[in-house]
Chains A and B, each alone.
Chain A
């Protein structure tokens, strides 16, 4: 095993230029993956925050009984797409209305003190964990007994969910292209490695080396290129990400309230294992494919 490990590393060294090219491409792939992932994670966090702000409001028919309201509540509770909901009484609705529209002129609202103009406006505010399910929920709620009206912000919901899937598609597309490029380059590197060592391989086979033994150094080579090629961009990304969120927080304090970056530790908890597995996996698959094609042992 140690022999093969040593030979694999020697291959990389003997084959410096190609190994370097492969490591560089792999690094670029993983780097871009990391960038996309970081952007993606932050975006979906933002979208999620925005989603949480999109509510469906359910109003009741006039003089609805308490039993019916609690029956509706039970139905809402059962729905899996509901993240949270709460009941707003007519009084709370009026208080909130007063706060929003009579700010500083509270005395004007006093005239209504005995007669709540929003007497019939008790309602449920429902927040979803997945905006794309909003239409479905609205339809369901409209069909319930005792429900007068269901309000929703359809445009916001649709835009957010479209945007979410668009990010997903771009992300997947770029990653697929990058993986293809990386596999192609590893292929090239290992092919050159094989042709450089053709004589040695021929001798090994004549002496009685097993297929596995002949192949192992090339697999080691591919896996190592993958490992180094994913470690370098991870370190780079770590400092870049940390630097960037620090910089944005410092320079653009005014948007600080609007944009909440996902903390570096949270991003890298997923990014590190995924990148390493991706890098090593690409290296392994790339060299295996090449060996199958060029090394008939």
Chain B
């Protein structure tokens, strides 16, 4: 599903942001990638989305070697990965429904499909009643649900969440985590990048810890924290 082989990324300053990372994430897994700021998490995510090219090594996602995907095919590749951000990144001038429908419109899905899928995914994240609200009328937790709905509406095989609870209080953070767990149970591979160790510990999932660009620990689900 997601395979990184000897992946390194060095920016112009010379210090590697990601240093010889080897990883394998199976289809249907729920994985946390842990690390403090500056650990190389963001660089890793950007490489997974093919926003950045690794300096060396090879990334394979859904059987495709990223280095072999031509520029023109990048949009198609990205349609198979849903992304959720810490700051939600919703369009402020559009309501909940439009924000979610946006994800289907930009991939030129037919209207019929949009009308069917958007209400479905909104009810899945528990926001069917607020489809007309603008993002600023929603709480942080609700905004993140909209973002998750937007990431999921295209039915990607992988959901990549970059600090999804970073801007949320504890109660909302837990709700989002449970939602992600539910999505995972439906078959979607979920990769959550976070530095919130409390959540990571309680969720009892596989945890990959990165420090200064190097994988220092890969703990299987159910194993106890030894670091």
Q: Which residues of A are at the interface with B, using a C-beta cutoff of 8 A?
A: 3, 199-200, 202-211, 213
Interface membership of B148, Cβ < 8 A: no
B77 smallest CB distance to A (angstroms):
8
B: contact size bracket: 10 to 19
Give the number of residue pairs across the A-B interface with Cβ within 8 Å.
41
B89 adjacent to A208 (CB under 8 Å): no
- Taking CB as reference atom, which chain A residue is nearest B99? A203
- B146 located at the interface, meaning its Cβ lies under 8 Å from any Cβ of chain A in the complex: no
**Pair B89/A207 contact, Cβ less than 8 Å:** no
Tell me the bound Cα distance from A205 to B150 in angstroms. 14
The complex places the Cα of A55 from the Cα of B13 at a distance, in Å, of 81
Mark B residues whose CB is within 8 Å of A: 49, 51, 72, 75-79, 83, 89, 91, 102-103, 105-108, 150, 154
User: Closest residue of chain A to B92, judged by CB?
Assistant: A199
Q: Which residues of B contact A206 (CB under 8 A)?
A: 49, 51, 78, 83
A210 to chain B, nearest CB (A): 5
Q: Which residues of the other chain, A, contact B105 by a CB distance below 8 angstroms?
A: 3
28 chain-A/chain-B pairs, Cβ below 8 angstroms: A3-B105, A3-B108, A199-B91, A200-B91, A203-B91, A204-B106, A205-B78, A206-B51, A206-B78, A206-B83, A207-B78, A207-B83, A207-B102, A207-B103, A207-B106, A208-B75, A208-B76, A208-B77, A208-B78, A208-B79, A208-B106, A208-B107, A208-B154, A209-B75, A209-B106, A210-B75, A211-B75, A213-B106
Instruction: Tell me, in angstroms, the Cα distance from A211 to B51 when the chains sit together.
Output: 14
A3 nearest CB neighbor, chain B only:
B105
Most B Cβ at <10 Å: residue of A200, A208, A209: A208
Q: Give Cα A211–Cα B75 distance, bound, in whole angstroms.
A: 8
Determine the distance from Cα of A199 to Cα of B90 in the docked complex, in whole angstroms. 9
Which residue of the partner chain B has the closest CB to A204? Answer: B106
